[in-house]
């Protein structure tokens, strides 16, 4: 491997380049190379100033995350940065692309900073369960003041060069072009001004307007259950409460506690998951088919959302509806979605003007489409009819996809003359917002068709996960299982409100009954009717009653909750549940929050293990990705399989066996849970 840090001089200016593709991560070789380069700069009498740049598409993407959890090797990053800062001659950081985490901390250790327009500058460590552990919590406040520093450090979000300049984080913005030239220009100006070394650690941080205790309460409310943001704020307050070196020592201590925390392991797992699940080894050498134009059948919520997602990715869309009025309505919905994307800064005005959308009632308009996604009513008869028409008009080699959330894709494929060209592309509503895409592979789906499904996912910036064909694929199949466990607890004495609250304290974005109200109780009702009675699964008669009463959730103003001034609990719902318990002869008992969470998670892990065991999900991490990116699972717990590994699979099995005493049919232990409990292997080890 070539040396990852180069030293060269351009007259009296030394140029030090970090060259460690793909993101110039600060791995051991880079750290050692930086110390050597700055030692050389110190000794190089001809060099009066140094410019530090990153090769490739960005400055420095941070510490090398792949080193985490392994024994740390000297020189440690804080010492490297201290070495840069104590240079007796001025050092300029010339930033382009991104300076993130340790990358920005390196820049803070330099004496001057110039950023090229469009660069991202940030300290995202809290999103990885960590905190800036190389002086960022001490230097950033000294440059930007405590308020701005606390926002950046605890929010983990990057800022633009313009904001960074406002904060005093950078001294100069270069309009465009590349960092080296910007760095050299600035260095010449500094030399001409007789600029000297300017250690950030000599500065004094402007104090915070809110005290540490207030920040701690605010962060606890903003990130329930998470620890990294609160520890990061604690470290940052050292910048005004302690001398620099003591602040650094405290930062290191707090960093080390976070490095050991299960939340760091889970968040790093989630970070790498996004990329890993969408790259299947068996597709490595498979060429996807073209994806220049996409057709969509059905302009309802899903069809319009999918069309919006494709147009946002710059893919021309032709959408077919049954009548001109429906086509027009779909056009209006998509236009509104696109205008919203522009308003949110997710789409430029130029891209909006280029949006290429055709709506029509003619299937013939799809004759040249590379891929058509069907998003019509969830009825096998309707789908058969649609696929028959598509098969008749679409060109050879085109791909026929269905967005069905549970129907048998093998049966749909069999209605066409080209089952190898058929697959499922299961989007989640709203399809232009939710990141998850289940790529459902039917028995005859050709490998290059699967590869095209993943290529579409990448174009749409989705987290694409391979799923096999079964009722509900990965996510909805597991959902129906843990929802049944929640219903069982309602029958035995818990209230839907208590269950929601317990699971939201566990970290879910929303509890299952708020989710049901959001989706519409009629959806769940239809699924239950379709699935029919399942062994050991209680039928939520109270839910049927709410459906009969027209209480379908948010869309009717009431479901489990009454939607006036937010979601209000409703005694009428509790009375209905009491009637159902009485009818079943059940005397309700108290069920505590711990039992609620343990049973809910045991059901989720048990069914997830079955899904992996049957090959519906290829690896446990595919289940983690589905629950994290499609079902509001708390990211800092890493997904149900990471949760199971951290809880102990044997512990989960013991819980399942306990619950099985009262309901053996529902609580059958998945074979994979038995196997891993006996062998001591983990779900994480299955991902390798
Ligand atoms: N370490 C190791 N590998 C990394 C990495 C990192 N920091 N960042 C990215 N990669 C890998 C990534 O997995 C992918 O691998 C490849 O590089 C290209 O990434 C002490 C402790 C920098 C904006 O959190 O946000 O510093 O899939 O496709 O779209 O206080 O990567 O090819 O095998 O994303 O151009 C803080 C995380 C670390 C930044 C580039 N830094 N990375 O985006 O490329 S903690 C971060 C990103 C830290 C200090 C603390 C993005 C990017 P593969 P990519 P990209």
Answer whether residue 1 shows pLDDT above 60.
no
Same domain, yes or no, for 454 and 510? Answer: no
Among 435, 469, 503, give the residue marking a domain's end: 469
Domain-embedded: residue 671: yes
Domain-embedded: residue 277: no
Return the closest-CA partner of residue 59 out of 16, 91, 29, 89.
16
Pairing of strands 120-122, 436-441: unpaired
Query: Residue 405 C-alpha to ligand 1 middle, in angstroms?
Result: 33
Same domain, yes or no, for 542 and 442? Answer: no
Name the residue of 18, 29, 57, 62 whose CB sits within 8 Å of the most ligand 1 atoms, as the mutation to test its pocket: 62
Task: Determine the average pLDDT of the residues in 599-604.
Answer: 98
Would you list the DSSP string of 608-622?
Answer: HHHHHHTTSSSSHHH
User: Is residue 624 a contact partner of residue 585, using CB atoms and an 8 Å limit?
Assistant: no
Q: What is the largest CA-CA distance in the chain?
A: 92
> Closest Cα to atom 13, ligand 1: which residue?
272
Answer whether residue 477 shows pLDDT above 70.
yes
The per-residue pLDDT for range 390-400, each reduced to its tens digit, is 999 999 999 99
Domain-embedded: residue 143: yes
Same domain, yes or no, for 94 and 228? Answer: yes
Cα dihedral sign for 587, 589, 595, 601?
Answer: positive
The per-residue pLDDT for range 569-578, each reduced to its tens digit, is 999 999 999 9
Among 469, 487, 522, give the residue marking a domain's end: 469
Name the pLDDT band for 232 (thresholds 50, 70, 90). very high
Query: Residue 23 C-alpha to ligand 1 middle, in angstroms?
Result: 6
The per-residue pLDDT for range 39-78, each reduced to its tens digit, is 999 999 999 999 999 999 999 999 998 888 788 899 999 9
458: exposed, middle or buried (Cβ count in 10 Å: 0-12, 13-18, 19+): middle
Same domain, yes or no, for 483 and 380? Answer: no
Among this protein's residues, is 595 annotated catalytic?
A: no
User: What's the CATH code of the domain at 369?
Assistant: 3.40.50.720
Name the residue of 18, 22, 138 whose CB sits within 8 Å of the most ligand 1 atoms, as the mutation to test its pocket: 22
> Closest Cα to atom 18, ligand 1: which residue?
22
The per-residue pLDDT for range 639-683, each reduced to its tens digit, is 999 999 999 999 999 999 999 999 999 999 999 999 999 999 999
What is the residue range of 435's domain?
291-469
Query: Residue 7 C-alpha to ligand 1 middle, in angstroms?
Result: 24
The mean predicted confidence, pLDDT, of the chain is: 96
Domain-embedded: residue 271: no
> Closest Cα to atom 24, ligand 1: which residue?
124
Q: What pLDDT does 177 receive?
A: 79
Can you name the residues that pair with 9 across neighbouring β-strands?
14
Among 423, 447, 469, give the residue marking a domain's end: 469
Q: Relative to the CA of 105, which ligand 1 atom is closest?
A: 30
Name the pLDDT band for 556 (thresholds 50, 70, 90). very high
Name the pLDDT band for 293 (thresholds 50, 70, 90). very high
State the helix-helix crossing angle for 228-241 and 212-222, rounded to 10 degrees.
Answer: 160
Same domain, yes or no, for 249 and 361? Answer: no
Query: Residue 137 C-alpha to ligand 1 middle, in angstroms?
Result: 20
Same domain, yes or no, for 58 and 205? Answer: yes
> Closest Cα to atom 28, ligand 1: which residue?
275
**Complex ipTM above 0.95?**
yes
Same domain, yes or no, for 92 and 156? Answer: yes
Name the residue of 65, 127, 152, 228 whose CB sits within 8 Å of the most ligand 1 atoms, as the mutation to test its pocket: 65
Q: What pLDDT does 121 receive?
A: 98
Which among 43, 67, 105, 411 is annotated as catalytic? 105
User: What's the CATH code of the domain at 543?
Assistant: 1.10.1040.50
Task: Determine the average pLDDT of the residues in 471-499.
Answer: 96
Name the residue of 4, 20, 21, 23 whose CB sits within 8 Å of the most ligand 1 atoms, as the mutation to test its pocket: 23
Domain-embedded: residue 275: no
Map tokens 């004759």 to a residue: 367
Same domain, yes or no, for 543 and 562? Answer: yes
Domain-embedded: residue 420: yes
Q: What pLDDT does 214 receive?
A: 98
Same domain, yes or no, for 460 and 506? Answer: no
Q: Within a 10 A sphere around the Cβ of 31, how many other Cβ atoms? A: 25
Q: Cα–Cα distance between 215 and 209 in angstroms, integer?
A: 10
Q: Within a 10 A sphere around the Cβ of 593, how many other Cβ atoms? A: 15
Domain-embedded: residue 266: no
Task: Determine the average pLDDT of the residues in 98-107.
Answer: 98
Map tokens 């049901």 to a residue: 516
Return the closest-CA partner of residue 126 out of 264, 292, 288, 274.
264
Among this protein's residues, is 328 annotated catalytic?
A: no
Name the residue of 20, 31, 58, 61 whose CB sits within 8 Å of the most ligand 1 atoms, as the mutation to test its pocket: 61
Same domain, yes or no, for 405 and 517? Answer: no
Query: Residue 101 C-alpha to ligand 1 middle, in angstroms?
Result: 10
Query: Residue 24 C-alpha to ligand 1 middle, in angstroms?
Result: 9
Q: Cα–Cα distance between 155 and 158 in angstroms, integer?
A: 9
Same domain, yes or no, for 600 and 561? Answer: yes
Answer whether residue 685 shows pLDDT above 60.
yes
Q: Please give the tally of structural domains in the chain.
A: 3
Same domain, yes or no, for 200 and 304? Answer: no
Q: Relative to the CA of 97, which ligand 1 atom is closest?
A: 23
Answer whether residue 284 shows pLDDT above 80.
yes
User: Is residue 21 a contact partner of residue 56, using CB atoms and an 8 Å limit?
Assistant: yes
Spell out the long-range contacts of 146-152 with Cβ–Cβ below 8 A and sequence spacing 24 or more. Answer: 146/205, 146/206, 146/207, 146/208, 146/209, 146/236, 146/237, 146/239, 146/240, 147/206, 147/208, 147/209, 149/205, 149/236, 149/239, 150/208, 150/215, 150/233, 150/236, 152/122, 152/123
The per-residue pLDDT for range 327-368, each reduced to its tens digit, is 999 999 999 999 999 999 889 999 999 999 999 999 999 999
Which among 85, 125, 265, 374 is annotated as catalytic? 125
Name the pLDDT band for 463 (thresholds 50, 70, 90). very high
Exposure string over 390-414, b if 16+ CB within 10 A, otherwise e: bbebbeeebbbbbbbbbbbbeebbe
Q: Cα–Cα distance between 516 and 554 in angstroms, integer?
A: 9
Answer whether residue 528 shows pLDDT above 90.
no
User: What's the CATH code of the domain at 33?
Assistant: 3.90.226.10
> Closest Cα to atom 49, ligand 1: which residue?
102
Answer whether residue 233 shows pLDDT above 80.
yes
The per-residue pLDDT for range 126-145, each reduced to its tens digit, is 999 999 999 999 999 999 99
Q: What pLDDT does 2 receive?
A: 63
Q: What pLDDT does 644 receive?
A: 98
Pocket of ligand 1 (CB under 6 A): 22-23, 25, 57, 61-66, 77, 98, 100-102, 105, 124-125, 128, 130, 132-134, 136, 275
Q: Relative to the CA of 255, which ligand 1 atom is closest?
A: 21
Query: Residue 22 C-alpha to ligand 1 middle, in angstroms?
Result: 8
Q: What does the DSSP 8-state code read for residue 513?
A: H
> Closest Cα to atom 25, ligand 1: which residue?
61
Query: Residue 216 C-alpha to ligand 1 middle, in angstroms?
Result: 28
Query: Residue 119 C-alpha to ligand 1 middle, in angstroms?
Result: 15
Domain-embedded: residue 94: yes
> Closest Cα to atom 43, ligand 1: which residue?
23
SS3 at position 294: strand
């Amino acid at each position: 491997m070539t040396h990852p840090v180069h030293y060269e001089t351009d007259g009296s200016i030394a140029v030090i380049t970090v060259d460690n593709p793909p993101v110039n991560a600060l791995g051991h070789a880079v750290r050692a190379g930086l110390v050597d380069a700055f030692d050389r700069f110190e000794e190089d009498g001809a060099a009066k100033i140094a410019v530090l740049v990153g090769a490739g598409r960005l400055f420095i993407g941070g510490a090398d995350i792949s080193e985490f959890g392994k024994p740390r090797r000297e020189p440690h990053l804080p010492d490297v940065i201290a070495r840069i800062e104590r240079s007796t001659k001025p050092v300029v950081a010339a930033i382009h692309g991104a300076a993130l985490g340790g990358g920005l901390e390196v820049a803070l250790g330099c004496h001057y900073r110039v950023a090229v327009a469009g660069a991202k500058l940030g300290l995202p460590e809290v999103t990885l369960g960590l905190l800036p552990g190389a002086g960022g919590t001490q230097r950033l406040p000294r440059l930007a003041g405590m308020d701005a520093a606390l926002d950046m450090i605890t929010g983990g979000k990057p800022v633009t060069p313009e904001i960074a300049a406002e904060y005093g984080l950078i001294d100069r913005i270069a309009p465009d072009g590349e960092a080296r030239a910007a760095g050299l220009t600035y260095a010449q100006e500094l030399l001409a001004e007789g600029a000297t070394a300017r250690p950030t650690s000599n500065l004094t941080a402007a104090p915070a307007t809110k005290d540490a205790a207030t920040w701690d309460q605010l962060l606890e409310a903003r990130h329930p259950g998470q620890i990294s943001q609160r520890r990061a704020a604690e470290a940052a307050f050292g910048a005004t409460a302690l001398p620099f070196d003591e602040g650094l020592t405290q930062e290191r201590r707090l960093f080390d506690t976070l490095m050991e925390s299960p939340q760091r392991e889970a968040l790093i797992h989630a970070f790498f998951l996004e990329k890993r699940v969408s790259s299947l080894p068996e597709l490595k050498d498979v060429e996807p088919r073209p994806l220049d134009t996409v057709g969509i059948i059905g302009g309802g919520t899903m069809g319009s959302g999918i069309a919006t997602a494709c147009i946002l990715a710059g893919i021309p869309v032709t959408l077919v509806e049954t009548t001109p009025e429906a086509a027009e309505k779909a056009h209006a919905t998509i236009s509104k979605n696109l205008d919203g994307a522009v308003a949110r800064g997710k789409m430029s005005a130029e891209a909006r003007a280029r949006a290429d959308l055709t709506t029509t009632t003619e299937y013939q308009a799809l004759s040249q489409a590379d891929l058509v996604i069907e998003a019509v009513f969830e009825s096998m008869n309707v789908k058969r009819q649609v696929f028959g028409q598509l098969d008749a008009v679409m060109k050879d080699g085109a791909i026929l996809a269905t967005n069905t959330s549970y129907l048998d894709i093998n049966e749909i494929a069999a209605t066409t003359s080209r089952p190898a060209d058929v697959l499922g592309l299961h989007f989640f509503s709203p399809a232009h917002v939710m990141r998850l895409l289940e790529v459902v592979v039917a028995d005859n789906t050709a490998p290059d068709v699967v590869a095209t499904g993943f290529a579409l996912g990448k174009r749409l910036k989705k987290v694409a996960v391979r799923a096999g064909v079964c009722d509900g694929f990965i996510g909805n199949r597991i959902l129906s299982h843990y929802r049944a466990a929640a219903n069982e607890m309602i029958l035995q004495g818990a209230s839907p409100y208590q269950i929601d609250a317990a699971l939201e304290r566990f970290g879910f974005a929303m509890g299952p009954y708020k989710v049901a109200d959001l989706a519409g109780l009629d959806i769940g009702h239809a699924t239950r009717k379709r699935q029919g009675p399942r062994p050991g699964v209680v039928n939520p008669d109270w839910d049927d009653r709410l459906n009969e009463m027209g209480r379908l959730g948010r869309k009717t103003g009431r479901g489990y909750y009454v939607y006036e001034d937010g979601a209000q609990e409703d005694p009428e719902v509790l009375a209905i549940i009491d009637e159902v318990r009485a009818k079943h002869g059940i005397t309700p008992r108290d069920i505590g929050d711990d039992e609620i969470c343990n049973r809910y998670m045991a059901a989720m892990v048990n069914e997830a293990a079955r899904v992996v065991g049957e090959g519906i999900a290829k690896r446990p991490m595919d289940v983690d990705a589905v629950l994290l990116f499609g079902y509001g699972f708390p990211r800092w717990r890493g997904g149900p399989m990471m949760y199971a590994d951290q809880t102990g699979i044997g512990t989960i099995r013991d819980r399942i066996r306990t619950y099985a005493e009262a309901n053996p049919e529902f609580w059958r232990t998945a074979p994979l849970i038995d196997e891993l409990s006996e062998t001591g292997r983990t779900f994480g080890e299955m991902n390798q």
